[in-house]
Structure 1
Amino acid sequence: MLVIDAHLALPETELDERFLRADGPGGQHVNRTESAVELRFDVARSPTLPDAVRERLLARRDRRLNADGVLVIQARRFRDQARNREDARERLATIVRAALVEPKRRVATRPTRAARERRLAGKQQRSRIKRLRTRPERDA
């Protein structure tokens, strides 16, 4: 069971782990052990996730989310499998926790009259400065 928060936990049956050989330092050891972890979680078909959380996860522009709605996390930061496995699970929990928070709705506002006047005064000031940078006209 992967605990996300007090109200949500993902059962082990929904998590698919695959172990593969990691690249990087480690000498001969890295060529013989499968220490990297690929954790897959099917966001689109998960019965555990609330609908709002599922929609927020699927709406994310995340390259780890494939076209089928499966979130794929690869962990190969550490040299031993147990630490990589824990790292992948923690990263998944962080992603799901972020989707639990409902984003605030933006309230459309208009600039005040004073703000518009300040903006226009600033534009006039910049225009004057740039006009002074030009060559003076010669009297004919």
Structure 2
Amino acid sequence: MSDNDTLPATDADAFRQKCRDFLQKHATGLSRSERANDRGASMMAAAKEFQNALADANLAGLTYEKAYGGAGLTKMHDLIWREEYANFADMTGELTISHGMCLPVLNQFGSEEQKKRFLPDNIAGRTVWCQMFSEPGAGSDVASLQTKA
């Protein structure tokens, strides 16, 4: 990621238009209520397809380094993307754990080998990570989890 948080206005406008064009073509506006009957399978498939299209358009992992499958762009690019994406239905909600929790931690603390192995497929939506807890008496109550050595 570039440390430069500024972007010339012409570059910002061009990038904003690229985002709009992509979203108008690819954001289908899937309704969660319409997809409730298949236990999220179609939503996951749509999220992965959308994320892969983002990667093909060099719009996935905007601030992640190119060497790891990202776009290597600035925080300003990311801000512009988020502003434009906010006008469309959430197409990648099923990737929240992967992209909101796993990717940042791996990018910050992972070894070079781990980053090269795991980041590109995750950024492109080819691999999806999840977080699951199952323990008698705890279920999804993370505060009740116990460990033993």
**TM-score relative to the length of structure 2:** 0.24
Q: Which is greater in Rg? A: 1
Structure in which a larger fraction of residues adopt strand:
1
TM-score by length of 1: 0.25
Higher relative contact order (CA 8 A, sep 6+): 2
